[in-house]
Amino acid sequence: MTIHEPDTGARCETHVGEAFPPRCADCDAAARDATTTSTPNLERRVRSHDPETSWDAAAITAPDANEVRSKVLAIVAARGPIGDEQIFAMYRAGGGTRTAQRVRTARAELSRPLAGDPLIREHDRHGITTTGAAARRWVIA
């Protein structure tokens, strides 16, 4: 693994469950395998002592993540400028089952992708949350 590649959390049998083990050739092979499959190998992505919520999050496959991003993009395209709370409300109203945090993460992935141009951008900070705090509003880039 080079310094510029994201750590997929994949580990060889020797390093399973370690947060930041020394990288070996077997770990690199496991990382390549993890990026080419849509079924995650949870033992290689989550430390053995992590809570159940971490195991649940690790079970989200690439197609699941793409589905959330697609729905968020459609919501922003149809209703922007729109804040995160409103995006989540519309996502749930449309039958979405992921958490507010996962929806915010999908929005962040669309606004700050690892590669390529962002698909959405910050419009302003004039949105208001349900608690009355200022919030960012998002539009198609």
CA 94 to chain centroid, in Å, comes to 19
pLDDT average, residue stretch 93-108: 91
How far is residue 66's CA from residue 19's CA, in Å, rounded to a whole number? 26
> Residue 45 corresponds to which tokens in the numbers above?
């992505």
> Would you say domain 62-140 falls under CATH 1.10.3470?
no
pLDDT average, residue stretch 115-129: 91
CA 111 to chain centroid, in Å, comes to 12
Q: Which helix (H) or strand (E) holds 68?
A: helix 62-79
pLDDT value of residue 13: 64
Residue 130 in contact with residue 76, Cβ under 8 Å? no
Rg over CA atoms, the chain: 18
| pTM exceeds 0.75, yes or no | no
pLDDT average, residue stretch 118-132: 92
pLDDT tens for 14-47 read: 666 665 555 677 666 655 655 555 555 555 566 7
Res 4 pLDDT > 50: no
pLDDT value of residue 75: 96
Query: Which part of the chain has CATH 1.10.10?
Result: 62-140
pLDDT value of residue 22: 56
Share of the chain above pLDDT 90, in %: 40
